[in-house]
Amino acid sequence: MIKAVTKLSLLSLAALLAGCGGTPGGIDPQLYKKYQAGNEKLGQVYYEQVCSRCHKAELGRAISPADKASREWDQLFGDDRHGQHPQPLSYFFSAAYRQQASHIEVVQVYRDLPAEQLRLGLYKFAILGAKDSDMPHACK
Ligand code: HEC
C-alpha cells in the first residue's frame, strides 16, 4: 500500500517537473496566465490557515479547491462572492481583516505583504487544485 502511494507520487512529481508540455495542472492557459504571478505555496498556507480554519469551525467541513472547477473558481473570484457569507472574499486579504486575525500564524508572518500578493497566491492555489486540473488527468 505504502509502495503504491510512493510510486504514484513519484509519477505525479515527474509529471509536474516535465510540465506535461502544457500549462501546469493542465488548465486553460489563458486562465492560468491570469494567476501565474501568484505564489501557490503561500496561497496554500493562507487557504489552510484562514479559509479552511473558518469553514471547519463554522460549516463543520473544509471546502477544498477540488470542490469546484477552475472556471467556477475564476468566476467566484471575479465576482468576489462568498456564498451567503456577509464578507466578500477580498475582505480576507484586507488590512482590516489581517489586523483582527493576527493570532493566525500566516497572517502574522506575512502581515506586511501586499494584499494583492496574498490574493493572487491563494487564487492560483485554488485554480491549480480545481477538480478539472489535476496533474494525472492533464497528462492523458
Ligand atoms: C470567518 C469565516 C470564513 C472565512 C475566513 C472564509 N470563509 Fe468561506 N465561507 C464561510 C461560510 C460561513 C460559508 C457558507 C456561506 C453560505 O452559507 O453560503 C462560506 C462559504 C464559502 C464558499 C462556498 C460558496 C460558494 O459560492 O460555493 C467558498 C467557495 C468559500 N467560502 C471560499 C473561501 C475562501 C477561498 C476563503 C479564504 C480566502 C474563505 N472562504 C474564508 C466562512 C468563511
pLDDT tens digits, one per residue of 60-87: 999 999 899 999 999 999 999 899 999 9
At 134 the pLDDT is 59
Residue 39 pLDDT: 96
Q: Is the pLDDT of residue 136 over 50?
A: no
Nearest CA to ligand 1 atom 23: 83
Cα–Cα distance measured from residue 24 to residue 16, given in angstroms and rounded to the nearest whole number: 7
Ligand 1 proximity of 84 Cβ (cutoff 6 Å):
yes
Pocket test for ligand 1, best of 82, 89, 102, 122 (most atoms within 8 A of CB): 82
Q: What is the pLDDT of residues 6-41, one digit of tens each?
A: 554 544 444 444 444 456 667 888 999 999 999 999
Nearest-atom index, ligand 1, CA of 81: 26
The span from the CA of 24 to the CA of 108, in Å, is 30
pTM (predicted TM-score): 0.84
Categorize the per-residue pLDDT at 132 as very low, low, confident or very high, splitting at 50, 70 and 90: confident
For 17-37, give the DSSP string. Answer: HHGGGSSGGG--HHHHHHHTT
Q: Which residue matches cell numbers 504571478?
A: 37
Which atom of ligand 1 is closest in space to residue 84's alpha carbon? 18
Q: How far is CA 32 from the centre of its chain?
A: 12
pLDDT above 80: residue 4: no
**What is the number of other CB atoms lying within 10 angstroms of the CB of residue 61?**
10
